[in-house]
Chain A
Amino acid sequence: MSPKRSPRDILVRIRGLKFYRGSRAIFDGVDIDIPRGGVTAIMGPSGTGKTTLLKLIGGQLTPDSGTIEVDGLNVHALSTRDLYRLRMRMGMLFQSGALLTDLSVFENVAYPLREHTRLSASMIRKLVLIKLEAVGLRGAHQLMPSQLSGGMARRVALARAIALDPMMIMYDEPFAGQDPISMGVLIQLVRRLNDAARISSVVVSHDVAEASQIADLIYVISDGRVIESGAPQQLREHGGEWTQQFIRGLPDGPVPFHYPAPDLASDLFGEPA
């Protein structure tokens, strides 16, 4: 396990998180420490509620028990105004980009600036172009979201997420369904933003290869609990059996290939049930 870190180094501290949907426990007592300045990947099989975790951190959902602290602030104890102020310091990249469809690329990126700052129009223009340049889409600033490919939409959404120079960005399945080139672009962007702008990143994904490439720390989650955590290399070589199966993508292991069924011979040749 990672050495004890001083409180200042931990950007997001989750303790004893429990979240139920109906009677199903999405999270059943989860502790996570997301360090400042690095890329932390949260991985697990589909449907384990990884997106839910990001919504919990952002305050859109409230846990049934447990606490989530971001930069020392208890997210769910904040007043609405303070929560909004905190959100201005967090950027979120949704799976679909979530661009506003009736605004152009430029206006989408300018939106948070116009909303939360009193900068002049020319200042905003410069900032927008700079952010778009960072993701390589400055030339596309006149286009409408409907004219963008999926990968391009995500990059615009990323430019929007960094518009207010947040202290952290949360990525919801950024690699899902991307072609190799867009994938490569995104991977590079995530890493570059993280290091150059000193933004902490939380990446939620089940694309092991890509996430392992950029993550400094990986949390593996399944069935509402943290199975293991550690640096990618460490998990690959010294991880537990379940972690190994997940990371290496082995078809059989602790998660069995065969759905539970009676003995094959009796099924084929025996009496019909």
Chain B
Amino acid sequence: MEWLAALGRAGLSFSARLGRANLLFVAMLRGLPALLRRPRLLIEQMFAIGVLTVLIIAVSGIFVGMVLGLQGYHILSRFGAEATLGVMVAASLVRELGPVVTALLFAGRAGSAMSAEIGLMKATEQLSGLEMMAVNPEHRVLTPRLIAGIISMPLLAALFSMLGVYGGWFVGVGLLGVDDGTYWAQMQSQIDWNEDVVNGVVKSFVFGVVCTWIAIFQGYDCVPTSEGVSRATTRTVVHSSLAVLGLDFVLTALMFN
């Protein structure tokens, strides 16, 4: 019967964490008016979260696009359908790989960095210090990061998709002989703005909210020791990844059935 009690305790503690996470989210949103008065904070975070993630997103995007071009060509050429390579590459990227892979990379690079930074601020009493200086730490430290993450994610995903399409073009048209005009023409006639691109953007927006929220919460809620911070960063990457993949299924089912 011990395990039953343990299960109950785990359930309660999970519920408490979920509650804290939601309360934190609301508290961060309350900091929006204050953030508008201090755009500098947002710009600093956009740099740390957005600009510094561009490199990994760009390189990954190009490579993923190139692999799609390569694999796609081999599969489609079996049916004599190489002409549709453009559509295949673009659809895979815009609908799925762009938003999802970007979110996973984001969680690994920017998410873990955020958790570590916030956790460390908690451990060194900087958050407490801000409170005692009559500055609201949630509004000052956390809200800018949340907004920066939400804005950055769709932009990064679009960048990923764009570079991926070019990567596929480079391999397909440049190396494997697919016709340049056909690559683009088929793509343009088949990929729909509303159904494909906009849905992809909506996905990356949702992922942006979720990944940033998880990263911030884990850092803010961690045990203020070095072990606690390290556990928080690991949790951020794991939880973000699972959440992204799970939500991707739900969103895809809702959007593309």
Contacts and interface: CB of A to CB of B under 8 A. Distances in A.
Question: Do any beta carbons of A and B sit within 8 angstroms of each other in the complex?
Answer: yes
Interface of A: 55, 58, 60, 84-85, 87-88, 90, 92, 94-96, 98-101, 111-112, 115-116, 157, 160
Interface in B109-141: 121, 124-126, 128-135
Given A101-B121, A115-B133, 12 more contacts: A58-B131, A85-B134, A87-B131, A88-B134, A95-B125, A96-B124, A98-B125, A98-B126, A98-B128, A99-B129, A116-B134, A160-B133
Contacts of B135: 115
Interface of B: 121, 124-126, 128-135
A140 to B, nearest CB: 19
A94 B124 CA distance: 9
Contacts of A116: 134
9 contacts: A60-B128, A60-B131, A87-B133, A87-B134, A96-B125, A98-B124, A98-B125, A115-B134, A157-B129
Contacts of A157: 129
Contacts of A99: 126, 129
A116 B132 CA distance: 13
Contacts, number: 45
B81 to A, nearest CB: 55
Contacts of B121: 101
Nearest to B130: A100
Contact of B132 (A58, A100, A101): A58
Nearest to B141: A100
A90 B131 CA distance: 11
Contacts of A84: 134
Name B's interface SS.
Answer: helix
Contact of A90 (B125, B129, B132): B132
A96 B128 CA distance: 11
B131 A101 contact: no
B114 to A, nearest CB: 14
B132 A92 contact: yes
A271 to B, nearest CB: 34
Contacts of A111: 133
A51 to B, nearest CB: 10
Contacts of B126: 98-101
Contacts of A101: 121, 124, 126
A111 B124 CA distance: 18
Contacts of A88: 133-134
A115 B121 CA distance: 19
Nearest to B132: A92
A69 B128 CA distance: 21
A51 B130 CA distance: 16
B35 to A, nearest CB: 15
A112 B133 contact: yes
Contacts of B134: 84-85, 87-88, 112, 115-116
B147 to A, nearest CB: 19
Nearest 5 CB-CB pairs, A to B? A98-B129, A84-B134, A87-B134, A98-B125, A92-B132
Contacts of A98: 124-126, 128-129
Contacts of A85: 134
Contacts of A95: 125
Nearest to B120: A101
Contacts of B133: 87-88, 111-112, 115, 160
B38 to A, nearest CB: 10
A134 to B, nearest CB: 18
A87 to B, nearest CB: 4
A98 B123 CA distance: 9
Contacts of A58: 131-132
Nearest to A170: B132
Contacts of B130: 100
A92 B135 CA distance: 13
A58 B125 CA distance: 14
A88 B132 CA distance: 8
